[in-house]
Structure 1
Amino acid sequence: MSRAQDPVTVWCVLVEETIGRGEGQRWAAEEVGSYNTRDEALSAAERVTREYQPQHPAFEKGRKVYELGEGSWMVRLRGATMDFHFRVTVGKHVTGQGAPDDAHE
């Protein structure tokens, strides 16, 4: 089915952040919401930049939000002993392209 024939578009808010502890730390991505319109997703993503509580740092001392482009933000967090960051992005879910959920079927 071509994009023009696809009647359903789903807009997603994605968060990329450091998860795990010690040598098990890694950069991971998670879909934190899906929306019917891009405007709804953009509004939700802006809220996420202010309200999302990432795994690190455990005790947030400060937060700075940077808009990198339309639909993309980086959030720097100051912790008690280290600084971390996470990224928030709005993206259009494109079906049938080998999404991770389909990879093991």
Structure 2
Amino acid sequence: MTTGTGMGMGPWMVVIEENGGLGQSVSWRVSNFFWATDHNDALRMAEHLAHTHRPMHPMIPQGRWALRRTDGSWLVIVPGTTTTYQFRVDIAEHVPYPGTTWTSPRVAGTT
């Protein structure tokens, strides 16, 4: 698994999205991403991350429900002590825009 940066692993990525913000400004944000060598590698990686990724919240997880979607992505529900959180593990193919050069996307919490 190549995390967060780099190129050349293949066009497939596994992207983890978590809820961020407070109150009315809660939104999904990319918390990490990983390059995959091919689509099957991305499917395996997504399943592994759905079961092992430690999301920012809750501080003390009380369990985990990993729900696989028909496209191979995952919705993971993590109950905490006082509320329930969720994160998504998505599979995406990088399709470059003609005439542009790839630059690594910014990940939440990085500069």
Q: Does 1:75 align with 2:76?
A: yes
> Aligned residues: percent identity?
28
1:17 to 1:38, Cα distance in 2 relative to 1, 3 A: same
Which string of whole-angstrom CA distances, capped at 9 and with x for unpartnered residues, describes residues 37-88 of structure 1? 1111111110100111111111111100111113211000000100011111
- The alignment's TM-score, normalised by the length of structure 1, stands at 0.75
More helix as a share of residues: 1
User: Which residue pairs with 2:52 in the alignment?
Assistant: 51
Which contiguous aligned blocks of 4+ residues in structure 1 show a shift greater than 6 angstroms? 97-100
| Structure 1 spans left out of the alignment, 5+ residues | 1-7
Say which one has the larger Rg. 1
Q: Distance in 2 between matches of 1:52 and 1:74?
A: 12
Amino acid corresponding to residue 55 of structure 2 in structure 1: P
Q: Distance in 2 between matches of 1:31 and 1:72?
A: 15
**SS state at 2:56 partner:** coil
More strand as a share of residues: 1
> How many residues are paired up?
94
Q: Distance in 2 between matches of 1:12 and 1:39?
A: 11
Q: Distance in 2 between matches of 1:14 and 1:61?
A: 24
Cα pair 2:10 2:35 within 8 Å, conserved:
no
| Structure 2 spans left out of the alignment, 5+ residues | 1-8, 106-111
